[in-house]
Amino acid sequence: MADEIDLYDDRGSVLAKGVPLDAISPLKNAAIKKIISMTIRTGAVDMAGLDKKLKTGAIAGRGMVIRGVGRDIPVLDKVNEIAKSVEDMLRVEPGDDTKVELIAGGKRMLTQVPTARILSDYSVGLTAAMGALTHAIIDVCDVSMWDAPYVHAAVWGMYPQNPDPADGAVKMLVDIPMKNEGPGFTLRNIPVNHLAATVRKRAIQGSALTMILEEAAQFEMGNCMGPHERGHLLDLAYEGLNANNLLYNLIKDNGKGTLADVVYGLVEKAKEDGVIKPKKKLGSGYMVYEAPDPQLWNAYASAGLLAAVCVNCGAMRAGQSVPGCIMYFNVLLEHETGMPGVDHGMAQGASVSSSFFSHSIYGGGGPGVFYGNHIVTRHPKGQFIPCFCASMCLDADTMYFSPARTSALYGEVLGAIPEFAEPMKAVAGAV
């Protein structure tokens, strides 16, 4: 690949110049590989919540209070010893990448299962952490054989009666394999709100982290073979990593404008850079354009799409307009150029159905609970969900399902990890 790009951050400051396009590939970039590794190995534990569960008998989640089984197990009082025991059990050999860290004065705990434990299934990031935590509490707090099952239930939730331990004590960004839409969907099965909370609601950093995961999933889904690999890397570069400062400039130049202003600005920039050129002038005076490099055009269009969402949702301080922004950006772009919209119409099509699911008679979830694994949003190949994340970062808690409501633990625990907090800087530093 001969393409070269300059990488900029979310403030418009240059991070790296003359970067070969394949240097940001999830298969080669060390920071992206680390982000993906931590995504499937890292858990967040609400130790204060676990302590309360055991004391109140609400051991299997909301609505599952068992009267009379509350146990005064001193989880918080002995949290340091518990964390040390968990780390010792998780570690495979000295010096490996096991990590257990207490946060917020011991009320929260981060767990990172060592890579060596992942033999064939990423679920061990969850199961090993829950298993170690269960045994640590029993051992450190000297829990009797009669009360040990209550500890197991508090840590594992309704598992195994329910294969999904969603009510358990350890939370991960990724979900269990049985809830993936199909092969390669693991990294797409992360709710938007979790990612928005993880980056502390910074729109461009949030869309960057989201697109890194979405595009890495495209490699795992088999969509990046042969000539398609370049197209996906260009999309990641321009929409996800602000290549050549295109995304930042579109937002800044149209910050006091409208969605349509972003469309016009993008078209003018594409013409100026030679990405599109006039093909035919119709009798009405309408000019049809063509792209010498269709993949580069799609990358420009993808950056424009995110910029339009940021301008519109930022102006209203609310995320609910994101499906409409995606739809009308693509409609206007197609009308303005005669060229296909983002992902050759996939983004526009998904915007219609996602609007129905979040706003119409089927609505109720809101943009924050969507993910790339959703039956509606699975069709666009990486460019769609970053816009949803940006919209929820810009949302001033107008949505019922806000990041603070659904995902605060992720922000508190995972937001402290540099690669999650500053993904653009991390990727640029690894080229």
Amino acid symbol at 351: S
| Residues 22 and 52 placed together within one structural domain of the fold | no
| Residues 169 and 223 placed together within one structural domain of the fold | no
| Residues 272 and 404 placed together within one structural domain of the fold | yes
pLDDT at 2: 76
CB 68 within 8 A of CB 56: no
**Which pLDDT band holds residue 278 (cuts at 50, 70, 90)?**
very high
Q: Closest Cα partner for 169 from 191, 151, 187, 143?
A: 151
Distances (CA, A) of 201 to 40, 50, 414: 22, 26, 13
Distances (CA, A) of 277 to 152, 225, 236, 303, 339: 64, 28, 24, 19, 11
**Which pLDDT band holds residue 45 (cuts at 50, 70, 90)?**
very high
Length of the chain: 431
For position 78, which CATH number holds? 3.30.70.470
User: Average pLDDT, whole number, for the chain?
Assistant: 94
| Residues 325 and 298 placed together within one structural domain of the fold | yes
Q: Would you give the distance in Å from CA 108 to the centre of its chain?
A: 21
Q: What average pLDDT does this structure show over 59-85?
A: 89
**Is pLDDT of 346 > 90?**
yes
| Residues 32 and 51 placed together within one structural domain of the fold | no
| Residues 316 and 408 placed together within one structural domain of the fold | yes
**Which pLDDT band holds residue 365 (cuts at 50, 70, 90)?**
confident
pLDDT at 360: 62
| Residues 103 and 29 placed together within one structural domain of the fold | no
What gap in Å lies between CA 106 and CA 83, rounded to an integer? 9
Q: What average pLDDT does this structure show over 94-121?
A: 97
pLDDT at 362: 64
Lowest mean pLDDT among 160-169, 181-190, 208-217, 287-296: 160-169
CB 10 within 8 A of CB 205: yes
Lowest mean pLDDT among 57-71, 96-110, 373-387: 57-71
| Residues 83 and 155 placed together within one structural domain of the fold | yes
CB atoms within 10 A of CB 328: 18
Distances (CA, A) of 419 to 29, 53, 414, 416: 13, 32, 10, 9
Q: Identify the domain boundary among 119, 152, 179.
A: 179
For position 373, which CATH number holds? 1.20.840.10
Per-residue pLDDT tens digits for 145-197: 999 999 999 999 988 888 888 889 999 999 999 999 999 999 999 999 999 99
**Is pLDDT of 128 > 70?**
yes
Q: Is 362 a catalytic residue?
A: yes
**Is pLDDT of 1 > 70?**
no
| Residues 240 and 320 placed together within one structural domain of the fold | yes
DSSP β-ladder status, 108-112 and 42-46:
antiparallel
pLDDT at 154: 94
Per-residue pLDDT tens digits for 230-240: 999 999 999 99
Lowest mean pLDDT among 78-82, 102-106, 257-261, 349-353: 349-353
pLDDT at 375: 85
| Residues 227 and 374 placed together within one structural domain of the fold | yes
Q: Identify the domain boundary among 140, 161, 179.
A: 179
**Which pLDDT band holds residue 363 (cuts at 50, 70, 90)?**
low
Which residue did the predictor score with more confidence, 161 or 86?
86
| Residues 252 and 364 placed together within one structural domain of the fold | yes
Q: Identify the domain boundary among 179, 207, 239.
A: 179
| Residues 132 and 229 placed together within one structural domain of the fold | no
The two structure tokens encoding residue 275: 């990405």
Domain count, the chain: 2
Q: Per DSSP, what are the bridge partners of residue 101? A: 110
Domain that holds residue 322: 4-38+187-428
The catalytically annotated residue of 328, 362, 371, 410 is 362
pTM: 0.95
pLDDT at 373: 92
What gap in Å lies between CA 169 and CA 64, rounded to an integer? 14
Q: What average pLDDT does this structure show over 423-428?
A: 98
The crossing angle, in degrees rounded to 10, of helices 30-41 and 203-220 is 90
pLDDT at 59: 83
